[in-house]
Structure 1
Amino acid sequence: MVRELKEVQGIIFKRQKYKEADLLAKIMTKQDGIITLIVKGALRPKSRLSAATLNFSTGTYIIYTSGHGLSNLRTYKEVKQFDGLYHDLTKNAYASFIFDLIDHAFVEYQPIGKYYNLALFALNKIDKGVDSEMITQIVQMKMLSAYGVEPELRHCVICGKEKGVFDYSIKLGGIVCSDHFGVVNSRMHLKPKETAVLRTIALLPIDRLGTISINEETKKATRKAIDRIYRETIDLNLKTKKFLDELKLF
């Protein structure tokens, strides 16, 4: 097994105690996928490596790796933190869920491509105070493709119509137009505006998403719809999602 020194750019998103003074830290990278790093001595007082591997730190990390299994963090450069996430439990909870969702869609060292940009987009927006709930919904809708259950949202799954009033059918895997409302028993009975929001956040490229302004009633309805889509199509039981849901009760 050949091990080599490699420079990776990425985002630290999970860490836990490994041995007496060591940490395991998960890093999400674009080209090399998700890697678990051993960070030796990180729990010792004044450790430089500890500060560089705080959750939601991003930068360049020099690792010793064989391309599978555990890798070792040797050093780092140009690391920065998203300070807005450290002082806000709710923001942190949303970000943790987003990264957990991406983490579970891939095996380690599998390149994640555009989903890395999606993760970075979400962190930047949440850190800056953009609506965390809507950013999370955007990520959830865009992550369905990574789980192999990308819905058809461009046109009606029955007749191909692209404009009009639409509803969503989990069973049919996408939107149905009002011409078929009477015969599609599996539709979710969403309001036209709610279906429109789901279509927009799923289809619009993240670099074209402007100011997000959606009323609480619509936001709550789309959250319930997305939760149901995930529940009925993907077998996921994430602790971060449960914690996020509990936070919303208070």
Structure 2
Amino acid sequence: MAGELKEVQGIIFKRQKYKEADLLAKIMTKEDGIITLVVRGALRPKSKLGAAAMNFSYGTYVIYTSGHGLSNLRTYKEVKQFDSLYNDLTKNAYASFILDLIDHAFIEYQPLGKYYDLALFALNKINQGVDSEVITQIVQMQMLAAFGVEPNLRSCVLCGKTQGIFDYSIKLGGIVCSDHFRVVNSRLHLTPKAVAVLRTIGLIPLNRLGKIKLDPALKKETRQAIDRIYRETLDLNLKTKKFLDELKFFK
């Protein structure tokens, strides 16, 4: 398949040295998926391409691609940066983890659709100073579907009830109402508030998301539940997640 020049809109999120003065940079795009770009001369001091391919840069890039393998960054039109993600270690760690998570859910050149919107939403919010951990939990819950393990958050997995007090069962793949608490051994024994948060952040469309404020104890409970869901359903072991956990430990 012959290559073509193509304009893509995307977010740069991973870089590594490639040959003497070149870089490999990963870009996340909505329609063309995740693409690895060769950025020639990017490591030279005055390289404009290098500046446009910094992590957390986003905008319109002109690439030469054949739709598989490595593509080449030729030029760019309008590129901005999420400055506070670049300059703040904690925000940087959350944003890196979010993009890493999306990167692992898709193969190269597989369209991202709504998950690109999710990435952009998350980076914008974290960059603006919204609670990074809450935003990350929203992404984690909504990404379960992309990994093929979407939980049933709408109704009890056993009887279909939608109102009442619920708990969560990883084994059963969703929420369980209080009618079945005595017979479900696999439930997580979460507080009703924590289950309500998991349901809300897992189901709500992004454009309807107002301000979600969680007190520290509730946020910790939902974080531990989400971590356990990921641990027991997906084999990921992401370095970005490990770094984030270490960062929390030292705070």
Equivalents in 2 of 1:9, 1:109: separation in Å?
14
Pairwise CA RMSD:
0.5
Q: TM-score, normalised by structure 1?
A: 0.99
Match of 1:223 in 2: 223
Gaps of 5+ in 2: none
Amino acid at match of 1:99: L
1:60 aligns with 2:76: no
Equivalents in 1 of 2:65, 2:149: separation in Å?
33
- Secondary structure of the corresponding residue to residue 249 of structure 2: coil
Match of 1:78 in 2: 78
- Secondary structure of the corresponding residue to residue 161 of structure 1: coil
Match of 2:20 in 1: 20
Equivalents in 1 of 2:24, 2:249: separation in Å?
32
Deviation, structure 1 residue 105 = 0.3
Gaps of 5+ in 1: none
1:54-112 CA distance string (max 9 Å, x none): 10100000000100000000000110001111221000000000000000000000001
Equivalents in 1 of 2:11, 2:226: separation in Å?
26
Deviation, structure 1 residue 234 = 0.5
Match of 1:171 in 2: 171
Amino acid at match of 1:13: F
Equivalents in 2 of 1:236, 1:219: separation in Å?
22
Match of 2:213 in 1: 213
Match of 1:200 in 2: 200
- 1:80-99 paired onto structure 2 within 5 Å: 80-99=80-99
- Secondary structure of the corresponding residue to residue 249 of structure 1: helix
Equivalents in 2 of 1:35, 1:103: separation in Å?
10
Amino acid at match of 1:68: H
Equivalents in 1 of 2:205, 2:238: separation in Å?
26
Deviation, structure 1 residue 212 = 1.6
Amino acid at match of 2:55: N
Match of 1:183 in 2: 183
- 1:127-138 paired onto structure 2 within 5 Å: 127-138=127-138
Match of 1:30 in 2: 30
Work out the percentage of aligned pairs sharing the same amino acid. Answer: 80
- Secondary structure of the corresponding residue to residue 220 of structure 1: helix
Equivalents in 1 of 2:249, 2:235: separation in Å?
24
Equivalents in 1 of 2:121, 2:86: separation in Å?
18
Match of 2:161 in 1: 161
Amino acid at match of 1:150: E
Match of 2:40 in 1: 40
Deviation, structure 1 residue 154 = 0.2
Tell me the number of residue pairs that the alignment of Structure 1 and Structure 2 aligns.
250
Amino acid at match of 2:30: K
Amino acid at match of 2:169: S
- Secondary structure of the corresponding residue to residue 104 of structure 1: helix
Deviation beyond 4 Å, 4+ runs, structure 1: none
Deviation, structure 1 residue 48 = 0.1
Q: TM-score, normalised by structure 2?
A: 0.99
- Secondary structure of the corresponding residue to residue 117 of structure 2: helix
